[in-house]
Chains A and B, each alone.
Chain A
Amino acid sequence: KNQVEQSPQSLIILEGKNCTLQCNYTVSPFSNLRWYKQDTGRGPVSLTIMTFSENTKSNGRYTATLDADTKQSSLHITASQLSDSASYICVAGYSSASKIIFGSGTRLSIRP
């Protein structure tokens, strides 16, 4: 069964600290792995997209890693800011049926 699991479900950290969000996926055949940021009540916004041949991709203070062998991805946020408070959604694409599947997200709260 194709699925995407994210952990933790929620996370609270202090402003300025770093954090890492995890994503495990089971899709076949794997095509790409994406991370989205979704502010409360808004549409998701793309942070990174990685194909199976890419191990890491950065977007400012956001760095995503991908291990296609273990089917794991992580999103590392450096020097967190209050504006980083949002849900972060991992999405796996699988190419045979041109499908993508969404994880349920990690709710990140940054405290001053």
Chain B
Amino acid sequence: SQTIHQWPATLVQPVGSPLSLECTVEGTSNPNLYWYRQAAGRGLQLLFYSVGIGQISSEVPQNLSASRPQDRQFILSSKKLLLSDSGFYLCAWSGGQYTGELFFGEGSRLTVL
């Protein structure tokens, strides 16, 4: 069966510090991978998606970047965090079409102080 792992679960970082959130998927090959951010009381916002190694699409301009160094690994990064980067980050995967079923990781709570 397929599983998705995301870490760390909780992170407290000072403004200006770097960020690295990691996500790996097991049990499937060539998944579509996504990073979402969820603000309190708001819908999930798509940040990045990838259909293959090294292929990254950004949905909104921001202080973050994403990379896909391996087929089932997706990394969310920042060189210098801003207060506004605080939030709940979710990694997800789907097979085939983007409009197929999404499977989410457990999420990473980021607090920037």
**How many contacting A-B pairs (Cβ < 8 A)?**
46
B15 at interface, CB cutoff 8 A: no
Residues of A within 8 Å of B106, CB to CB, are: 42-43
The contact size tier of chain A is 20 to 34
A64 CA to B45 CA, complexed, in Å? 24
Interface string of A11-47 (1 = CB under 8 A from B): 0000000000000000000011010000001111110
A45 CA to B102 CA, complexed, in Å? 8
Residues of B within 8 Å of A104, CB to CB, are: 41-43
- The answer to whether B43 and A31 have CB atoms under 8 Å apart is no
Binding site for A on B (CB under 8 A): 6, 41-45, 88, 90, 92, 97-99, 101-107, 109
Binding site for B on A (CB under 8 A): 4, 31-32, 34, 41-46, 49, 89, 93, 95, 98-105
Given A46-B103, A99-B98, 9 new contacts (CB under 8 A):
A41-B107, A42-B106, A43-B6, A44-B90, A44-B104, A45-B104, A95-B99, A100-B98, A105-B43
